[in-house]
């Protein structure tokens, strides 16, 4: 509880709000990852954490370090840009790999019914 940077009041409140909002959105995304039924719906919720959650927490960190050192601190933007650029690439590749594996097994989720049964473990 003692480990807190020495920020002025307005910056402390703003950093607290940004970090809390980012953490809540990430938690919502992860609960969605746990609760969704099929793989193709599960692909969506984690992006909540890697887009909005990352942006909000990075904004809080940026504000905190800019006020602490009394000069603009921009190195956190590197993480935001990197995660924003790479998440779509990985999830698109993962979705295509899953689609390929499903088609090899003989059922096509793109043309099939909305609810298709989960196959056995493989």
Q: Catalog residues that contact another protein under the rule CB under 8 A.
A: 1-9, 12-13, 15-17, 19-20, 22-24, 26-27, 29-31, 33-34, 39, 42-43, 46, 49-50, 53-54, 57-58, 60-61, 64-65, 68, 75-76, 78-79, 82-83, 86-87, 89-91, 93-94, 96-98, 100-101, 118-119, 121-122
DSSP 114: S
Token code pair at residue 113: 């019914």
- Kindly state the smallest distance separating residue 110's Cβ from another protein, in Å: 15
Residue 15 CB: number of other CB atoms within 10 A? Answer: 22
- Kindly state the smallest distance separating residue 53's Cβ from another protein, in Å: 6
Closer residue to another protein in complex, CB, 2/111: 2
CA proximity to 52, closest of 76, 15, 73, 27:
27
Token code pair at residue 43: 């692909």
Angle between the N-to-C axes of helices 76-104 and 54-69, in degrees from 0 to 180, rounded to the nearest 10: 170
């Amino acid at each position: 509880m003692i480990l807190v940077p020495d920020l002025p009041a307005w910056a402390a409140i703003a950093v607290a709000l940004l970090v809390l909002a980012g953490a809540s959105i990430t938690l919502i995304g992860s609960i969605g990852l746990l609760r969704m039924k099929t793989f193709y719906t599960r692909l969506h919720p984690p992006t909540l954490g890697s887009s909005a959650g990352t942006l909000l927490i990075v904004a809080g960190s940026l504000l905190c370090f800019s006020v602490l050192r009394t000069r603009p601190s921009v190195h956190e933007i590197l993480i935001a840009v990197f995660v924003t650029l790479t998440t779509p690439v990985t999830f698109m590749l993962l979705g295509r790999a899953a689609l390929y594996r499903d088609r090899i097994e003989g059922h096509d989720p793109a043309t099939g019914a909305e609810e298709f049964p989960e196959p056995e473990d493989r």
